[in-house]
DNA sequence: CCCTAATAGTCTGAAACGGACGGTGCTGAA
DNA sequence: TTCAGCACCGTCCGTTTCAGACTATTAGGG
């Protein structure tokens, strides 16, 4: 039983770059940067400067081929090589055993809610609920666009999953906001704090 | 309108440390490390070596007070100062405007699903579903424990939110797995993918 | 008294970060 | 025609984070 078929010298960012070029055809790093911002950034973040380093490195490894514009700005453009496609496929085919990671400053503050007044937490909940609503809306747009295309079932599934997860989190924040806002003091048996 | 009441020289990790010491009383860095692993790590990750650096720094700022064991290992122990409590409260009270960030290798592979066979994606979905199930179970335990205590409503809310989000994501993965596994070829009116 | 496991903490090289900064070429107003 | 302003495109570099290897220390069991 071989443990890993995918190349150990490639990082997730490498595959993002390979994958987007495979999807969109020959691309400049700047175009990749824009494409990342339009989707992948929502579940795998990294600084754009990485893209420039990564395209160069992948070209060195023979997984991308560089072409340079002859006119004007002489931008570099990269297309994927057969080796690049093979590396990408091998990686996708290998199941990911890592759990998803969440990183939320809002949750961190909620965790320590006891150190602030209920009003402050209500405000936090309001802000977070609104943020989640916006992101869900954005996700909806993406879903609509992907459905119109009918193509790319993987991307659609990702968007639907994320949309649902964000919706559920947003609902929690709304519930928290309501619970703290409406009954400033529940009256009657004043449960200690 | 003042923009920021909270100290700009403190990072989220600083507040994690302050918050846990505020909750648990005087603690050694190692104890904090353990406490982080029992909860906060699920929505705010950082390397444990940071804790040692951070306690020292916070002591230098006067937000923690260091005490050293006289016997045995002479471990450092830290308690929170009034200034530390004030800094913590100010930070918690200030709403977080950042959206939550998700980071999932599984979603990344799903996004590029077209580059692997359906069987590979089914396998990915199976692994991810199982991972999510485990995490949900773990979350349930935490919720039960927190409910038994009756205390700390913020922590309970966090656990419930995360549990729900993970459950929803896990259900998506299960659905994906079923969709790919059961009908290897949908037969009949082949809906053009 | 020694061995082992659990506890406790240190250290470091490598990535990642992120944002300031500097060109370049287009467009359209003067 | 010029050139100001802007959107595009890419580089660079100081800081922070990161992971985890590594080193003690101590309690407990044999």
CB B190, CB B146: distance < 8 Å: no
Number of neighbours of residue A101 by Cβ within 10 angstroms: 16
Checking phi first, is residue A115 left (phi over 0); if not, alpha (psi -120 to 50) or beta? alpha
User: Quick one: tokens of B36?
Assistant: 């982080």
**Residues of chain A with confidence (pLDDT) below 70:** 1-4, 182-193
- Using a pLDDT cut of 70, give the percent of chain A over it: 91
Element (H, E) at A101: strand A101-103
| Residue whose pair of structure tokens reads 């795998």 in the numeric block | A44
What is the pLDDT at residue A185?
Answer: 53
Distance, in Å, from the CA atom of A93 to the CA atom of B114, rounded to the nearest integer, reads 10
| Cβ–Cβ gap B128/A155 under 8 Å | no
Distance, in Å, from the CA atom of A108 to the CA atom of B17, rounded to the nearest integer, reads 12
What is the pLDDT at residue A7?
Answer: 84
**Residues in a beta bridge with A27:** A78
User: Quick one: tokens of B176?
Assistant: 């994906």
Cα angle B8, B54, B52 (rounded to 5 degrees) comes to 170
3-state secondary structure of A40: helix
What is the pLDDT at residue A191?
Answer: 45
Q: Which residues touch strand C (CB under 7 A)?
A: A 11, 13, 45-50, 72-74; B 28-31, 48-49, 52, 73, 75-76
What is the pLDDT at residue B6?
Answer: 78
Distance, in Å, from the CA atom of A112 to the CA atom of B128, rounded to the nearest integer, reads 30
Distance, in Å, from the CA atom of B46 to the CA atom of A37, rounded to the nearest integer, reads 25
User: Quick one: tokens of B38?
Assistant: 């029992």
Question: HEC profile for A12-26?
Answer: HHHHHHHHHHHHHCC
What is the pLDDT at residue A182?
Answer: 66
User: Quick one: tokens of A155?
Assistant: 């991307």
CA distance A72 to chain B (A): 33
| Nearest-by-CA chain A residue for B87 | A115
The answer to whether the pTM exceeds 0.85 is: yes
Phi, psi of B142 (to 5 degrees): -60, -45
* DSSP 8-state code for residue A115: G
CB A111, CB B40: distance < 8 Å: yes
| Cβ–Cβ gap B16/A108 under 8 Å | yes
User: Quick one: tokens of A142?
Assistant: 């993406």
| Residue whose pair of structure tokens reads 């990342």 in the numeric block | A36
CA distance B39 to chain A (A): 10
User: Quick one: tokens of B112?
Assistant: 């590029």
CB B162, CB A102: distance < 8 Å: yes
Q: Which nucleotides of chain C have an atom under 7 angstroms from any protein CB? A: 7-12, 15-20, 24-26
* DSSP 8-state code for residue A94: S
One pLDDT digit (tens) per residue for chain B, 193 residues? 444 577 888 999 999 999 999 999 999 999 999 999 999 999 999 999 999 999 999 999 999 999 887 766 778 999 999 999 999 999 999 999 999 999 999 999 999 999 999 899 999 999 999 999 999 999 999 999 999 988 888 999 999 999 999 999 999 999 999 998 766 555 544 444 3
């Amino acid at each position: 039983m071989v443990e890993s078929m995918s190349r150990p010298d490639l990082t997730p960012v490498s595959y993002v770059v390979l994958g987007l070029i495979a999807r969109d055809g020959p691309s400049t790093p700047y175009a990749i940067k824009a494409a990342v911002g339009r989707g992948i950034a929502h579940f795998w973040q990294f600084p754009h400067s990485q893209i420039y380093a990564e395209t160069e490195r992948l070209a060195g490894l023979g997984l991308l081929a560089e072409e340079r514009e002859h006119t004007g700005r002489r931008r570099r453009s990269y297309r994927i090589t057969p080796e690049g496609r093979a590396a990408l496929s091998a990686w996708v085919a290998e199941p990911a055993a890592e759990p998803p990671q969440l990183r939320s400053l809002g949750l961190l503050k909620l965790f320590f809610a006891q150190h602030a007044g209920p009003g402050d937490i209500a405000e936090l909940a309001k802000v977070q609920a609104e943020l989640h609503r916006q992101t869900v809306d954005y996700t909806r747009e993406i879903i609509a666009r992907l459905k119109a295309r009918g193509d790319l079932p993987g991307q659609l599934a990702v968007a639907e999953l994320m949309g649902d997860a964000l919706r559920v989190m947003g609902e929690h924040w709304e519930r928290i906001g309501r619970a703290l806002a409406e009954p400033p003091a529940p009256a009657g048996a004043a449960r200690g704090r």
